[in-house]
Chains A and B, each alone.
Chain A
Amino acid sequence: MSGFSFATQLIYVLAASCFVLGLHLMNTPATARRGNQFSTAGMVIAIATTLALIAHAGLISATGWIVMLVGALIGGGVGLYSARTVQMTAMPQLVSMFNAVGGGAAALVAVHDYIQLSGAVIGVPESTTITTLLDVIIGSVTFSGSIIAAGKLQGLITSAPVTFRGARVVNLLLAAIAVGAGGYVISTPSLPALWIVIVAALAFGVSMVMPIGGADMPVVISLLNAFTGTAVAMAGFVIGNWALIIAGALVGASGGILTKLMADAMNRSIANIIVGGFGTGDSAVAAVAAADAGVKAIAADDAAIQLAYASKVIIVPGYGLAAAQAQHEVAELADELESHGVDVSYAIHPVAGRMPGHMNVLLAEANVPYPQLKEMDDVNPEFARTDVALVIGANDVTNPAARRPGTAISGMPILDVDQAKSIIVIKRSMGHGYAGIDNELYANPKTSMYFADAKTALADLTSAVKTLVG
């Protein structure tokens, strides 16, 4: 190893250290921005080092420079534009697209390396073939799977699970083709067989994500994130670059942890979600009458008085709040209540959104200070001391039926909303959540139902508090 390439490897390790430090600083909201700056610095260092390395080697053709720079400019422009303009509600789609392009780029790196090596006299070393195959398979599955996931989140593809008879057979067949062709590539280096692997892996990505419903998206995005990291690490193995290996492993770990957390929060195994289950997407059952016995309805004025004279209110937001774009209205109501001396906080279930932590970002955007955003385990003991729990657009995660065995959501960790002294639920109708079962909370004598669209209801509550309480 020459002195120069030794130095560049050391600088790559420095860049990777910046990534670790950056992730470490994400452990509190106060230091998180500095973490992102560290991470950015690491990336700039890594890219500058690579430019120096390429210029020093002097092997690059003029076309190579043009391809690299024009590609970077176009990609950078697209990335910058989408990052600047994306709505916070659309974050899951954007993250999914970044997973897609990251996984795609990682697969392309390995494909190119394979083409170069298979044209060379020495041929392809076996260990490189194996990492190439892993990179190409994982990268391609991530690429097509993430595009489908983004399409579902954006509503371009139905968010309901798409299944057909024999879907599982098709999945198995595609996996078998990819593995079989991969095995052939290991025994006999062959570029056409590698293309077969790629096509089968791309098709597998599509058929893997299509049967998964909208409510399961937090798990899917986390899993695809872990895949992307792994694909990038494999690309690092293929081209022998430590920066890619370390960074890819970090992302793989992060995606893995989040996948586990999300699956636990829904009390489902990852395998169960991938095979496809009840994540039936946004069930817009609007016309179900509220005729159920024992359900008590409430009007804006009564609800407003109850809230304004409470000493402690916990707001329980669900995806329905985000779907109704009512984040700003809820923050406004909270501000109004606080000005009357009410202690307001938010109880956030881990899957209250379309990706891990999504609800927190939506509320932060609406100017809610982060100390008010409480995690499930921290907030659950507080419900007993709470005068009013205000549930907005959350359903299954508040259903006490989860505590009993034998229901569709049994064992799922829930928010102990029913422990509060009184409960107000803002909901358009008595429609079911994703699990498709009745929410026993609504029949609780302490519960009042406020039937309205979340956005209008919250605005009405705020003005009612203002006029009635002053």
Chain B
Amino acid sequence: MSTALLTDLVIFVLSLWVGFEVISKVPATLHTPLMSAANSIHGIVLVGAMLIAATANSWVGYVIAFVAAVFASANVVGGYVVTGRMLKMFRKRSTVPAAPAATAVASQDGRAS
């Protein structure tokens, strides 16, 4: 077993423990954004896709690198944007609900007519 593999394994196992420790403190309210955030983090595979694009030298290699780049960048961009979108909705106090009030009036009108 090479030293490099051993180092990688140590990093992997310790990161797993850090992950367990940090994530077990996340409240259930945030579990969907948490999973979405974890999703964006595994978009780091884009780094791998870039590195294989840099070493590809056959058409098979280019096709694989291209598909990997498409997949990984969809993962990164989509993951972060949708996590941000979700977290923006979590408010401590409800802001003046302009839109729901309007629909309430509309639905009452609808019944009255």
Contacts and interface: CB of A to CB of B under 8 A. Distances in A.
Interface of A: 15-16, 19-20, 22-24, 26-30, 32-33, 35-36, 39-40, 43, 46-47, 50-51, 53-54, 57, 59-61, 63-65, 67-68, 70-76, 78-80, 82-84, 86, 88, 91, 94-95, 98-99, 101-102, 104-106, 108-109, 111-113, 115-116, 125, 127, 221-222, 225, 228-229, 232-233, 235-237, 239-258, 261, 328, 331-332, 335, 348, 350, 353, 355-358, 360-361, 364-371, 373, 375-376, 459, 462-463, 466
B92 A247 contact: no
Contacts of A26: 23, 26, 30, 33-34, 37
Contacts of A71: 49, 53, 65-70, 73
Contacts of A91: 32, 36, 82, 86
Contact of A80 (B12, B37, B72, B81): B81
27 contacts: A26-B23, A28-B27, A43-B41, A43-B76, A50-B50, A51-B50, A59-B54, A64-B56, A68-B53, A71-B70, A79-B73, A79-B76, A80-B78, A106-B42, A109-B52, A233-B15, A239-B51, A247-B42, A251-B42, A257-B20, A332-B104, A356-B31, A356-B34, A357-B29, A357-B32, A366-B100, A370-B90
Interface string B6-44: 001001110111111011111111111111111111111
Nearest to B81: A83
Contacts of A335: 94, 97, 100
Nearest to B40: A39
Chain B at the A interface: SS class: helix
Nearest to B33: A32
A99 B78 CA distance: 11
A367 B48 contact: no
Contacts of B34: 23, 26, 254, 258, 356-357
Contact of B48 (A127, A235, A463): A235
Nearest to B77: A79
Contacts of A254: 19, 23, 34-35, 38
A116 B47 contact: no
Given A22-B37, A29-B90, A35-B37, A360 B28 contact: yes
B12 to A, nearest CB: 5
A355 B35 contact: yes
Given A250-B41, A369-B91, A375-B28, A75 B48 contact: no
Given A59-B54, A254-B38, A332-B104, A23 B83 contact: no
Contact of A225 (B35, B46, B97): B35
A241 B51 contact: yes
B45 to A, nearest CB: 5
A240 B8 contact: yes
A19 B76 contact: no
Given A75-B71, A80-B77, A369 B64 contact: no
Given A68-B50, A115-B61, A369-B94, A36 B80 contact: yes
A367 B100 contact: yes
A72 to B, nearest CB: 4
Contact of B32 (A39, A356, A466): A356
A84 B82 CA distance: 7
Contact of B31 (A20, A229, A360): A360
Given A50-B51, A75-B71, A244-B44, A370 B33 contact: no
